[in-house]
A and B are shown apart, each in its own frame.
Chain A
Amino acid sequence: MSDAAAQPMLEVRDLQVRVGGQIVLKGVSLAVRAGEVHAIMGPNGSGKSTLAYVLAGKPGYEIVSGSVSFEGRDLLALAPEERARAGLFLGFQYPVEIPGVNNAYLLKTALNAARRERRLPELDAFEFLALVRSKTQLMHIDESFLGRGVNEGFSGGEKKRNEILQMLVLEPKLSLLDETDSGLDIDALKVVANGVNSLRSPERCIVLVTHYQRLLDHVVPDFVHVLARGRIVRSGDRTLALELEKRGYDWITEQAAA
């Protein structure tokens, strides 16, 4: 293993975050290396989505202490768009609808912004269409969706598939997927899982934020962390997720509180 590979791509150290006067993350530490898939699980209100939002740079979250580095850069010093262009992708739990902004236009603008950052030539309309077509097929998304407003009138499942489509087109180094499995039926879950798996590679890492372990049957994580009351209270391999599925979260949060 080379030195570079040994360094975490994402390193969160003792992160404390305040939202609306309350400390929601109380010292979270996490190291994710290239090629790894991590799952962050936890009960509702444990701070999972807060962690995802803070990493992506959503305004309204106050960093009380701690640090986050991404490929050696201070992630918290970057604006949200700079984080995205650096290779971080947030798959939203509740993707917004933006009527009037064309899906394909958004995606092409985003892709070309990322390509400029990587000093690659921008794609023209034909090249873009060829690229995006192959991804829509993989995600079982009708091509006509590209011509519609972003997520406009999409069902919950379609919105989630559209998030993964965007991820596949943008090819981020770090994908943070916030409850991407929620609201999906079993067929849609498989499609989404296939999409996520297609992006697994030694150069990328994926962090799945999820309440349930069923996604993890299809996207098998290397590590599982349990976030409860703002702290990672236990880490393990995929068997931890199976145990949580059997026993729920109470035992582990009680142990942590004891």
Chain B
Amino acid sequence: MSVPATAVRASILDRVLRDFASVAGGLPGDAAARARAAARLTELGWPSVRDEQWRYANLRAFEHLGAFRPAAGGTLDTELPAAVPGFERLIYLDGVQITGHHRLQDEPAADNSVASHVWPAEQRLGLLCDMFASDAARLTVRGEAAIEILFVSSGRAGAGAVYPRLQLQLQPGSHLRLIERHLGHAAAPALVACNLTVELGRAAALTHYRLQQYGHDTVFADTLWARLAEQARYTVRSVAVGAGTARTSALVQLAGRAAALAWQAIAVGRGEQVHDIALKVEHSAADTSTEELFRGIADERARVAFSGHIHIAASAPGSQARQSLRGLIEGAGAEIDLRPRLEILTDEVRAVHGATTGRLDEDLLFYMLARGIDRQTARALLKWAFLSDVLREIELPGLRAEAERLAAGQLQDVLAVGALS
């Protein structure tokens, strides 16, 4: 007998609320804020694939999660990546800080929008972290800084869930290079629900590298909100290869004149992995710009989806938007869904978008074969080339090598032929 979808959703929400009721009293920090988040999730309900924004998310994976309460008692049992020269490193284990100088203040300031952001319906999984997280990487940057944050899940994380949280404010004119890495014990079957809130002051600049490499048993719900003031620049370079199910719900608000977003991302899935990225950009001020570059590869039976919704309000004349979304289907049972969407409510806008999905270009393949390169190597080189638009933008050599290694790890033939060398 099949269970109606509404009943399944209700039961997930019930389990979330039950777990919340059982632990809420013991969690540190602002209890009222947690309760508000729980009330809002109750009001919005658990998302459904019938909603356009959640259509490609693998919500079914949440049904199989054991628990939503925060994991506890874990130890650092994962090998950490080499440090990046010039970057200060902070480590969060199962969502709680264990090293680094930047220490959490328990109570956010009342006027602190990065700490009190209210998630819209399409980002409602962000409420999980608001309900359960017991720590936050809360950074206020003045001047220049380079910080690496490792969010690490332990082997114990399976006993509960992990709630990494990053709240970031850049003061006017400041400049931050931020590396955010998500990694975990290979045997940690857990929910990782991560929240990021970012506020960039006037003419502030943030270059944000994101590497997600969880094990395939992890369900990763990633929610990001950013607001940019006048002339602020936000650059995201994201490499997602991990987690069995990964959903990114991102909202970037270009609120000040000439604010600029560059979002460059790759997602490589294999096996039964599902990568689903929903990025909404709101242009509400004049002369703002967005550049989106997405490259996704789906191998075997993986599903990769990218929804790029750009809304240019009447208050944003002179804005520019450029979307380049490309998907490569490698496996017979693989699926790629790319959805560019431009919504323009003003004149004087320059907007270009392109989305293509397909298999490897036969003309390129033939060119390489005609040079005597064997088919396996040629295919691997072309797959690798497909990702290069994004990978080559990572200008930190050590980090780029790491990102390349992670991406290549998803593409066995690339590793086999040594296309990395």
Contact = CB atoms under 8 A, between A and B. Distances in A.
Nearest to A60: B362
A41 to B, nearest CB: 23
Given A99-B389, A100-B388, A84 B371 contact: yes
Given A85-B372, A110-B371, A80 B385 contact: no
A8 interface: no
B387 interface: yes
B387 A100 contact: yes
A110 B386 CA distance: 20
B382 interface: yes
B364 A96 contact: yes
B369 A80 contact: yes
A109 to B, nearest CB: 5
Nearest to B374: A81
B393 to A, nearest CB: 12
A106 B368 contact: yes
A90 interface: yes
B372 A110 contact: yes
24 contacts: A59-B366, A79-B375, A80-B366, A81-B378, A84-B369, A84-B370, A84-B372, A89-B370, A90-B370, A92-B367, A96-B364, A98-B368, A98-B385, A99-B388, A100-B384, A100-B387, A101-B382, A109-B373, A110-B372, A110-B373, A113-B372, A113-B373, A113-B374, A149-B388
Contacts of A106: 368, 371, 373, 381
Interface string B342-373: 00000000000000000000111011111111
Q: Which 9 A/B pairs are nearest by Cβ-Cβ distance?
A: A100-B385, A100-B388, A84-B372, A110-B371, A80-B369, A85-B372, A81-B369, A113-B372, A101-B385
Interface of chain B, helix or strand or loop or mixed? helix
Given A59-B362, A81-B375, A96-B363, A101 B381 contact: yes
A99 B386 CA distance: 8
A215 interface: no
Contacts of B369: 57, 79-81, 84
**Which of A80, A89, A117, A149 neighbours the largest number of chain B CB atoms within 10 Å of its CB?**
A80
Interface of B: 362-364, 366-375, 377-378, 381-382, 384-389, 392
Contacts of A114: 372
A1 to B, nearest CB: 30
A83 B373 CA distance: 11
A107 B369 CA distance: 12
Interface string A42-74: 000000000000001111000000000000000
A101 B382 CA distance: 7
A39 interface: no
A95 B370 contact: no
Contacts of B389: 99-100
Given A106-B373, A114-B372, A95 B384 contact: no
**Which of A109, A110, A149 neighbours the largest number of chain B CB atoms within 10 Å of its CB?**
A109
Contacts of B362: 59
B385 A99 contact: yes
A66 to B, nearest CB: 21
A81 B362 CA distance: 14
Nearest to B392: A100
Nearest to A95: B367
A81 B372 contact: yes
Contacts of A57: 369-370
A173 to B, nearest CB: 12
A206 interface: no
